[in-house]
Amino acid sequence: MVSVRPPAVAGMFYEANPKILGQEIDRMLEKATLKVAEGTITALIVPHAGYIYSGLTAAYAYKLLKNKPVQTIIIISPSHREYFNGISIFNGTAYRTPLGEIPIDENLRDQLIKNDKIIVSSAHGHEDEHAVEVQLPFLQKVQDNFKIVPIVMGDQKEEYCIHLGNKLAEALEGKQALIVASSDLSHYHSSDEANKLDQIVIDDLANFDQVQLSDDLNARRAEACGGGPIIATIHAAKLLGADHLEILHHCNSGDVTGERDAVVGYLSAAIIRKN
């Protein structure tokens, strides 16, 4: 077993040099503008593409965490490279990025996997997965002394999403914690078609309606590669008292490349419990 999960996509999805990486994230955070309702941030939805494409969109979400310390951050990711039945929490002690190591919250992991046949502690889905990893340098720039629970969904069936949401809500009650759902939106459509598909997801999110989102994704009226993580996150957040979702930023890869024939959509959002 690998105790510390090393970076797998540094130098590809984001800069491998720690100094340059830190400077790039700082620039994106500075460029992003704050616009969120008053209240406690319970969860974020963020994209997971290369920083050149979706980094600014992610920065709109992560900027909200500055000067708001969180003890544990749960990151829920789809599995892009490995199918497995169930949900996997990394079974080591830390994830490492060019900016340093982030310890796993082993107590919370143990609580989530206890007597559970769906959520297990394993390396399945973690070895090469980028959708957890790309969130970590941003978190390292806006938070200090935090732990993570990296979760990869090998199967995003609806019953697993609800199960994960229930377990997270139970485990996080009263804790200083945050959930991050890692997801991109539509893939490889024209920019016009992508915007139509993405708008369906945006409308469902703005209505804070994970049931309709699940229906739209299952019926292929919309696309989100991390739809399962989003649904699990909203379900958990509602159980934890969240009552509002605010869309922060939306774009697609064509906004960066200028190529509009086959784009990928990106969105960031904050889920809030009003005080």
Q: How far is CA 89 from CA 204, 211, 219, in A?
A: 28, 25, 29
Q: Where are the chain's structural domains? A: 4-273
Residue 148 · residue 104 · CB < 8 Å: yes
Rounded-to-integer distance, Cα 238 and Cα 42, Å: 9
- Is pTM, for the whole model, over 0.85? yes
User: How much is the pLDDT for 36?
Assistant: 73
Strands 72-78 and 147-153: parallel
Which residues, 6 or more positions from 104, have their beta carbon under 8 angstroms from its beta carbon? 90, 92, 93, 94, 95, 147, 148, 149, 150
Residue 171: what are its φ and ψ, rounded to 5°? -75, -30
User: What does the pLDDT read at residue 5?
Assistant: 97
pLDDT of residue 196: 96
3-state secondary structure of 216: helix
pLDDT at 1: 58
Query: How far is C-alpha 25 from the geometric centre of its chain's CA atoms?
Result: 17
Angstrom CA distances, 241 to 125, 203, 232, 237, 271, stand at 30, 21, 14, 6, 10
pLDDT computed for residue 19 by the predictor: 98
CATH, domain 4-273, list 3.40.830.10, 3.90.1150.10, 3.20.20.140, 3.30.565.40: 3.40.830.10
pLDDT at 246: 95
Of residues 160, 252, 157, the one with CA closest to residue 201:
252
- In this structure, the chain runs to a length of 275
Token pair 């965490």 is at which residue?
65
User: In sequence order, which residues have a C-beta less than 8 Å from that of residue 156 and are 6 or more positions away?
Assistant: 78, 227, 228, 229
CA distance 262 to 145: 40
Report the chain (275 residues): mean pLDDT per 10 consecutive residues: 90 98 98 85 97 98 94 97 95 98 98 97 96 98 97 97 98 96 96 96 97 96 97 98 96 93 97 88
Intra-chain end-to-end CA distance of the chain, in Å: 43
